[in-house]
Amino acid sequence: MSRIVYVNGAYVPEEEATISIFDRGFIFADGVYEVTAILDGKLVDFEGHCVRLERSLGELKMPMPVTAEELLEIHRELIRKNNLTEGLVYLQVTRGAADRDFAFPKDTPQTLVLFTQNKPLVDTPMARNGLKVLSVEDMRWSRRDIKTVQLLGPCLAKMEAKAQGKDDAWMVEDGLVNEGTSNNAYIITKEGTIVTRHLSNSILHGITRKAVLKVAAEAGMNVEERPFSIEEAQQAAEAFVTAATTFVCPVVEIDGVPLSGGKPGPMVKRLRELYVEEGRKAAI
């Protein structure tokens, strides 16, 4: 079914949406993106995504292409035009189209593209059954805190996991887990402490991560922000990942070792419920 998408100020059927072959997003992956979940036709954690977008752009010396208020209105209009109740809005900003040159062009209009995806987020097989993960060496660049569209490293990692019959990969550096291919990674120790890598340039500063850690603290759960190894993760009581459209998703196997009896554990289930409840309540 054809969607209405947004391209540089226009709402058009997806078949009619075009951008230049000289777009620097296409030539250099010179662009950043955001993905916002939609529940009940409303945006979850929109403000956090907007703040991170501005930060990613700033790190690449780009301004916001439109104001935060205008962005909100574009998201809402797309939700309305596509009758979306559950799914996501994808947004991408690039430095725009210019003759190919590594140096940034001056005064080139940025490209702004948004589209929706209609899909169930709450009731999913992943949430019911959990994920099997494979550890792989992290081959990405060193500014993973910037949400750029250069995602080939994670794509290859995910394909390696799939080739081995797993669902996702955890990317490891110097023996410690950075994050999943498109999510932040967590373990829950036998003592019930939630452990996740501290924020740095090594990982994306997940918007869901921030919200989940807040929800966990409010529920009286203990949280430690520090790196952990695959060996420590394999000894953990439970494990999970978080991302905007997967929320809190259980991990039930790491490199062939089952966790919590190979089924989603109780603390992860509780955290997921709490996050979805809070996310729905605060959605705009």
Alpha-carbon distances of 164 from 134, 135, 173, 246, rounded to whole Å:
8, 11, 21, 22
Among 82, 182, 202, 260, binds ligand PLP (CB under 6 A): 182
- Options 42, 147, 158, 166, the catalytic residue: 147
Q: Is 147 a catalytic residue?
A: yes
The CA angle 281-114-11, to the nearest 5 degrees, is: 110
Q: How far is the CB of 136 from ligand PLP (least distance, A)?
A: 13
Which residue, 82 or 246, has its beta carbon nearer to ligand PLP?
246
Q: With CB under 6 A as the contact rule, which of the stretches 101-109, 178-186, 229-237, 249-257 interacts with ligand PLP?
A: 178-186
Q: How far is the CB of 233 from ligand PLP (least distance, A)?
A: 16
Binding mask 237-266 for ligand PLP (x = CB under 6 A): -----xxx----------------------
Check if the beta carbon of residue 113 is closer than 8 Å to that of residue 66: no
- 87 touches ligand PLP by CB under 6 A: no
Reduce the DSSP state of residue 214 to 3 states and report it. helix
Count of helices and strands (H, E) across the chain: 8, 15
Q: Which of residues 187-206 bind ligand PLP (CB under 6 A)?
A: 204, 206
Q: Where are the beta strands (DSSP E) in 3-157?
A: 4-7, 10-13, 31-39, 42-43, 87-94, 111-118, 131-137
Question: How many other C-beta atoms can be found within 10 angstroms of the C-beta atom of residue 220?
Answer: 6
- 209 touches ligand PLP by CB under 6 A: yes
Q: Which of residues 92-151 bind ligand PLP (CB under 6 A)?
A: none
Q: At what angle do helices 46-59 and 68-81 cross, to 10 degrees?
A: 120
Check if the beta carbon of residue 121 is closer than 8 Å to that of residue 86: yes
Which residue, 3 or 55, has its beta carbon nearer to ligand PLP?
55
Residues classed as catalytic: 147
Query: Which residue ranges make up the site for ligand PLP (CB under 6 A)?
Result: 35, 179, 182-184, 204, 206-209, 242-244
